[in-house]
Amino acid sequence: MTDYKTNSLLPQFPHSYWLEHDVPRYPTLTEDMKTEVGVIGGGIIGILTAYLLAKAGKQVTLIEARELLSGVTGNTTAKVTAQTSMIYNELISTFGEEKARLYYEANTEGMHSIEQIAKELSIDCDWETKDASIYASTAKGFKQLEKESRAYETLAIDGVLTNGQVNELPFKTTGALTMPDQAQFHPVKFLAPLLNEIERLGGSIYERTRAIKVCKGKMRVHLENGFSLDCDKVVVATHYPFNDFQGLYFSKLSIERSYSLVATTDAPLVNGMYISAESPSRSLRSVRNDKGEDFLLIGGDSHQTGKSSEPNQEHYQNLEDFGKRYFAIKDIPYHWSAQDMTTLDKVPYVGQMIRSTPNILLATGFNKWGMAMGATAAKVLTDNVLNKSNAYADLFDPLRNKLKAKDVQQFTWKNTSVGKDLVVTKAKRPTMTPDDLEPDQGGLVSVDGKKVGGYRDASGHVHLVKTTCTHMGCGLNWNDAERSWDCPCHGSRFTYAGEVIDGPAVKPLEKLDNSCACKHQH
Ligand SMILES: Cc1cc2nc3c(=O)[nH]c(=O)nc-3n(C[C@H](O)[C@H](O)[C@H](O)COP(=O)(O)OP(=O)(O)OC[C@H]3O[C@@H](n4cnc5c(N)ncnc54)[C@H](O)[C@@H]3O)c2cc1C
Ligand code: FES
């Protein structure tokens, strides 16, 4: 059984605040179909791309494996900003000043385009202009802010560096770097109305329709249910590209999971949006619901997906402890977690996915900053389909692939680490049997001398699965906070019953007979 602290305010099961908002539901695609552009993945990038293409007169079909917006976009923090943590100093050294400035402009343009679309379509998405700040709590952290501030000056980015205590933060700080006039919003309130627009403009939308393969000869997208979608162009907006063997993307992306909670408090809320310079990361913003009630959103405590040094639930607990200590939080109505990928050089891959065909496009690797940048990515993808030039196409080009020595080192490290996960997690021998599992407890169990994954649900039923990842065969680890099986190699996640939650995997886990495991069944 999950060991909640007795005084914890956390509800038993996670649920995102953003997903409280209604999203229209769509059918599954149950026939072969032809379309001009197939957009795969119903998050911010897929929906915005489908919308922009439909608006430009293209015949678009948007397909989603699970439910629209149930991916990272429905589980984000929803700051819309060009202050994507501490990045500009690094970008100057990796890409040079011109491209570092272009990255800033891409984010700023993305932010304005979200605001513009919301205005045009009269979408109330709780848009609020806010200052974004990175705060430091140590002398070392402040030194980093100084460097980043110098990068702002070099790139003519509007920013203010302040030394010492940030007035509205109730803990000690050594300074902050603030970018004025950024924004926060409600991503689901913004994107759900665009689904109606896509349909109104002649597009088609399908949910519970998983793509499993793209054949580049005929440009045919094969679906899990045996049907197919033939397209002139395919846009892979599935977060992690499910067809990652095309272009070996699994070797170019690292992935981190991070936690959020929304809490009530009588203490003053933050007015700006904040992110810490130091680890463990802390992200802060306010949230106002439709009744005008205010909440504090606290995020952070990232770690590599499938690889946490403590039980996953502890990460929520760490955020709760932080909230109690500094903001006297009283109640936590919502908590959730999500993951995002980072590319080798920290700039997303957006555009032509593989060299051998210009007809498969992708957008991935937003390094936990895919709102403003996601909007620009959708424009880059749209312009690509429409054969129009785009100022950011080169910067985001997935085929840029100029690996530097540092990148190669990281690449090698990652692959070595992946190899270790494959061996180490496979070698572990469980000490429990399914009979030992309490309700709402999961983990590796031994059945007939074999190691399998087990979870006993509230009704006492035990779900047994084979814990070998269906992507490339790594051993999966139990995530007690989400009741999922998570892969440390490339971040695929599966429900306790074995269904795919997050790719790159497209096949469910093998379910095993559980007739041996009914101690707690009523
Ligand atoms: C904890 C956290 C906080 C964040 N906070 C911020 C923030 O404050 N500001 C910011 O700018 N960014 C933030 N981000 C990043 C941002 O949320 C993401 O970059 C962005 O939402 C990614 O959008 P997406 O459309 O690529 O992915 P998703 O929203 O995940 O959409 C992809 C969709 O594709 C579907 N799919 C997957 N495989 C298939 C398949 N085979 N067939 C069909 N469909 C498939 C999935 O089910 C999913 O719905 C945060 C990220 C995290 C993890
Ligand atoms: S996600 Fe690649 S092996 Fe599991």
Residue 442: give its domain's CATH number.
2.102.10.10
Measured by CA distance, the residue closest to atom 48 of ligand 1 is: 71
Residue labelled with tokens 């070099």: 154
Measured by CA distance, the residue closest to atom 3 of ligand 2 is: 472
State the Cα–Cα distance between residues 157 and 169, nearest whole angstrom. 24
Residue labelled with tokens 């006297």: 328
State the Cα–Cα distance between residues 430 and 416, nearest whole angstrom. 25
99-158 pLDDT tens trace: 999 999 999 999 999 999 999 999 999 999 999 999 999 999 999 999 999 999 999 999
Q: Which residues line ligand 1 (CB under 6 A)?
A: 40-46, 63-66, 70-73, 76-79, 210-211, 237-239, 242, 258, 260, 299, 338-340, 366, 368-372, 374, 503, 506
Write the single-letter amino acid at 107: N
What secondary structure letter does DSSP report for 279?
S
Ligand 2 centre distance from Cα of residue 452 (Å): 17
With respect to residue 501, please indicate whether it lies within any of the assigned structural domains: yes
Q: What is the mean pLDDT of the chain?
A: 93
- pLDDT band of residue 7 (cuts 50, 70, 90) is confident
71-97 pLDDT tens trace: 999 999 999 999 999 999 999 999 999
State the Cα–Cα distance between residues 502 and 491, nearest whole angstrom. 7
What secondary structure letter does DSSP report for 66?
S
With respect to residue 479, please indicate whether it lies within any of the assigned structural domains: yes
Measured by CA distance, the residue closest to atom 4 of ligand 1 is: 76
Average pLDDT over residues 447-456: 94
Residue 378 Ramachandran class (φ > 0 left, ψ -120 to 50 alpha, else beta): alpha
State the Cα–Cα distance between residues 287 and 276, nearest whole angstrom. 19
State the Cα–Cα distance between residues 68 and 64, nearest whole angstrom. 6
> What's the pLDDT at 513?
79
pLDDT over threshold 90, residue 377 = yes
> Nearest-CA neighbor of 173 among 162, 159, 157?
162
Average pLDDT over residues 397-425: 57
**Count of the separate structural domains present in the chain:** 1
Do residues 337 and 481 lie in contact, with contact meaning Cβ atoms separated by under 8 Å?
yes
pLDDT over threshold 90, residue 411 = no
- pLDDT band of residue 403 (cuts 50, 70, 90) is low
pLDDT over threshold 70, residue 404 = no
With respect to residue 63, please indicate whether it lies within any of the assigned structural domains: no
Burial per residue of 377-402, b for 16 or more beta-carbon CB atoms within 10 angstroms, e otherwise: bbbbbbbbbeeeebebbebbebebee
pTM strictly above 0.85: yes
Ligand 1: atom nearest CA of 506 is 41
pLDDT over threshold 50, residue 416 = no
State the Cα–Cα distance between residues 173 and 165, nearest whole angstrom. 5
Extract the tokens encoding 63.
């397909």
222-256 pLDDT tens trace: 999 999 999 999 999 999 999 989 899 999 999 99
pLDDT over threshold 50, residue 423 = no
pLDDT over threshold 80, residue 363 = yes
With respect to residue 208, please indicate whether it lies within any of the assigned structural domains: no
Ligand 1 centre distance from Cα of residue 363 (Å): 10
178-220 pLDDT tens trace: 999 999 999 999 999 999 999 999 999 999 999 999 998 889 9
State the Cα–Cα distance between residues 100 and 109, nearest whole angstrom. 14
> What's the pLDDT at 428?
62
Element (H, E) at 375: helix 372-385
- pLDDT band of residue 1 (cuts 50, 70, 90) is very low
Looking at the CA of 49, name the nearest ligand. Answer: 1
Q: Helices 44-55 and 187-200: crossing angle, nearest 10°?
A: 30
CA 293 to each of CA 270, 329, 489: distance values in angstroms, whole numbers, following the listed order: 14, 14, 41
With respect to residue 276, please indicate whether it lies within any of the assigned structural domains: no
Question: Half-sphere exposure of residue 100, counting CA atoms within 13 Å on the CB side?
Answer: 21
Measured by CA distance, the residue closest to atom 18 of ligand 1 is: 370
Extract the tokens encoding 370.
């895919």
State the Cα–Cα distance between residues 415 and 251, nearest whole angstrom. 7
Looking at the CA of 477, name the nearest ligand. Answer: 2
pLDDT over threshold 70, residue 466 = yes
Look up the domain containing 452 and give its range: 434-512
Ligand 2: atom nearest CA of 487 is 4
Pick the range with the lowest mean pLDDT from 83-92, 413-422, 428-437, 497-506.
Answer: 413-422
Extract the tokens encoding 201.
């403009």
Average pLDDT over residues 25-31: 98
With respect to residue 192, please indicate whether it lies within any of the assigned structural domains: no
- pLDDT band of residue 412 (cuts 50, 70, 90) is very low
With respect to residue 459, please indicate whether it lies within any of the assigned structural domains: yes
Ligand 2: atom nearest CA of 504 is 1
> What's the pLDDT at 430?
81
Residues 6+ apart with CB under 8 A from 153: none
Element (H, E) at 341: strand 329-343
State the Cα–Cα distance between residues 483 and 15, nearest whole angstrom. 13
Helix (H, G, I), strand (E, B) or coil at 402: coil
With respect to residue 440, please indicate whether it lies within any of the assigned structural domains: yes
pLDDT over threshold 80, residue 263 = yes
Extract the tokens encoding 293.
């009630």
Residues 6+ apart with CB under 8 A from 148: 86, 88, 89, 134, 177
**Displacement of CA 494 from its chain's centroid (Å):** 15
> What's the pLDDT at 429?
74
- pLDDT band of residue 520 (cuts 50, 70, 90) is very low
Read off φ and ψ for residue 442, nearest 5 degrees.
-140, 170
Ligand 2 centre distance from Cα of residue 26 (Å): 29
